[in-house]
Amino acid sequence: MDHTTSGLLKKRDELMGEMLAVRARQGELHNDLEAIDRVLDALGYEGDLDGRQARQCRLIIFARNELRQFLLRELRKGDALSSRDLAERICCEEGKDIADQRMVIEVTRRVSKSIGLLRKRGVVVGSKDHMHRYMWSLLKTPE
């Protein structure tokens, strides 16, 4: 029984590693398609391309105060979260692939800026965890 369990755990680890590699490759391909689309646009190409949505699917647009409201709602749940954790939650809620590192980094920057503004207003407070990342939590209920 132990031999079977260890074999299954080993196979599971192999499959997880392979899955992560495929996701990373998918992100690379997505970025390549986006770059080609930009060059075609710059060259003035106006034809219809199959699956041309490579450019639009990365974009996440927030309405006025939508990002701030999302952050406050997530922090009200009580868990201290890093800016990256919050960005990944946003991407998941928007149905985006968190394996797309450029998109997650872009959203993380926007989250960090918004969190910084909330911190200046005295709404959130940050503390470093054991990995020296800032973990954000609610300081008080905003007016």
35 shares its domain with 69: no
| DSSP 3-state of 136 | strand
- CB pairs under 8 A, 24+ apart, for 99-106? 99/20, 99/23, 99/24, 99/26, 99/27, 100/27, 100/30, 100/58, 101/27, 102/27, 102/31, 102/58, 103/58, 103/60, 106/58
Compute φ and ψ for 126, nearest 5 degrees: -115, 145
Whether 128 and 94 map to the same domain: the answer is yes
- Same structural domain for residues 48 and 67? no
Examine the domain organization and report whether 15 and 83 are in the same domain: no
pLDDT in tens, 32-68: 777 787 788 888 888 777 655 544 455 566 777 889 9
- Give per-residue pLDDT as tens, 91-111: 888 777 788 788 888 899 999
Answering whether pTM is above 0.85, one says no
- Contact assessment for residue 33 and residue 76, using Cβ atoms and an 8 Å cutoff: no
CA proximity to 57, closest of 20, 23, 91:
91
Q: Is 131 within 8 Å of 116 (Cβ atoms)?
A: no
Residues 72, 31 share a domain: no
Q: If you compute the radius of gyration of the chain from its CA atoms, what whole number of angstroms results? A: 20
Do 64 and 134 reside in the same domain of the chain?
yes
